[in-house]
Structure 1
Amino acid sequence: MKTKRLAELALLTAVALIIFIIELRIPNLVAIPGVKLGLANIITVYAVYKYSAKEVAMVVFSRVLLGSIFGGNISAIIYSMAGAVMCLIGMLAVKRIVPVNYIWLSSIIGAILHNTGQIIIAIIIMRSFAVMYHYPYLIISGCIAGAFTGICAQLLIKRVFASKSS
């Protein structure tokens, strides 16, 4: 990997971490565990459409690991990593079908898969299906947050590609 490419990926990781840490300081909008905006995923959606799967995975896994450490909640890494893996696999698959003009759809699917991964881990850890009660709320909030982050990523891609062509 070239130095310039590695520096770009490191910068994306740093920006995603900064957004993540800032979002941690925003009070929860609803009282349902796991519901949040996921603003750092703007960077993930952008990276999925601009970089290779391996490069995006490096950014996402670094962000999840460092975010858990910087956020002071290392136990959350299991939930975050499960969600991130499912989200990443789904978005990389959807990327083949959904053109860059509709990446907000990819983001919504990624958000749904992220929540699904977290619920699966919660079921395994708690050994109870009681957490499924939260799943419909997580799916609805995931669709809303996914659409928002996807639209932001789409605007970012248009802006970056427009500035490179001029």
Structure 2
Amino acid sequence: MKLTTRQLTLCAVLTALALAMSYVENFLPLSLLIPLPGVKLGLANLVTVFALYALGAGQALLILVARCTLGAMFAGNFNALLYSLLGGLAAMAAMALLRHGKGLSLYGVSMGGAAAHNCGQIAAAVITLGNGAPLCYLPVLLVVSVFTGTLTGYLSGLLFRALRHTHLMEERGMPHEKQ
């Protein structure tokens, strides 16, 4: 994939934004509202959804892999890289496929991505632990993914509406018609 300077710059800015959103999310007291281990809002996934629709799957994948890798490096936690990559890649694959489904809105694509992300992270846990015990927690995470995916879809919709008249949004046929 050959990127123009404009595309490379936009990918770098979006990667930095996703890293910042992921970092800030660590300070939100979500555990007070939802006392379940491992539950996050997934604010950085806003960038993934945006990149998927605005730039395409290739550039969105590039941003996702850079975010996961840099996030693990900055945190000094390379064990988290497996979880982050498997969850992110599963979400990206699901959203790229669901995006082309007929009658499926941005909310459906986002919820599918959230559910796939949780499946990817459970797969990472199974690999890391060497047994299937984490699979018992998957139904709980899938229920939560309905809410987190809906939130991401809603916020993405707001973003797309706010940027509707920019040349970036006109390039790929944005999802505002389907909402």
Tell me the TM-score normalized by structure 1: 0.91
Count of residue pairs the alignment pairs up? 164
Q: Which range moved further: 67-76 or 39-48?
A: 67-76
1 or 2, which has the higher helix percentage?
A: 1
Deviates more, 1:71-80 or 1:33-42: 71-80
Pick closer, same or farther for the CA change 1:27–1:68 going to 2, 3 Å.
farther
User: What is the alpha-carbon distance in structure 1 between the residues aligned to residue 68 and residue 11 of structure 2?
Assistant: 14
Q: Are residues 1:62 and 2:79 paired?
A: no
For residues 123 and 19 of structure 2, the distance between their equivalents in structure 1, rounded to whole angstroms, comes to: 25
User: Residue 96 of structure 1 aligns to which amino acid in structure 2?
Assistant: H
Q: Which of 24, 27, 30 in structure 1 is aligned with 2:26?
A: 24
Match of 1:84 in 2: 88
Determine which structure has greater relative contact order: mean sequence separation of CA pairs < 8 Å that are 6+ residues apart, divided by chain length.
1
Match of 1:112 in 2: 115
Give structure 2 stretches of 5+ with no counterpart: 170-179
On the 8 A contact 1:21/1:70 being kept in 2, the answer is no
Which of 136, 155, 162 is equivalent to 2:158?
155
- Note if contact 1:83-1:115 (Cα within 8 Å) is conserved in structure 2: yes
How many percent identity over aligned positions? Answer: 32
Residues 46-61 of structure 1: pairs in structure 2 closer than 5 A: 46-61=50-65
Further displaced range: 12-21 or 121-130: 121-130
- Cα pair distance change 1:3/1:98, threshold 3 Å: farther
Q: CA deviation at 1:162?
A: 2.9
Of the three residues 125, 146, 149, the one matched with 1:146 is: 149
CA drift of 1:163 comes to 4.6
Aligned to 1:3: 5
CA distance in 1, matches of 2:101, 2:108: 10
- Where does residue 48 of structure 2 map in the other structure? 44
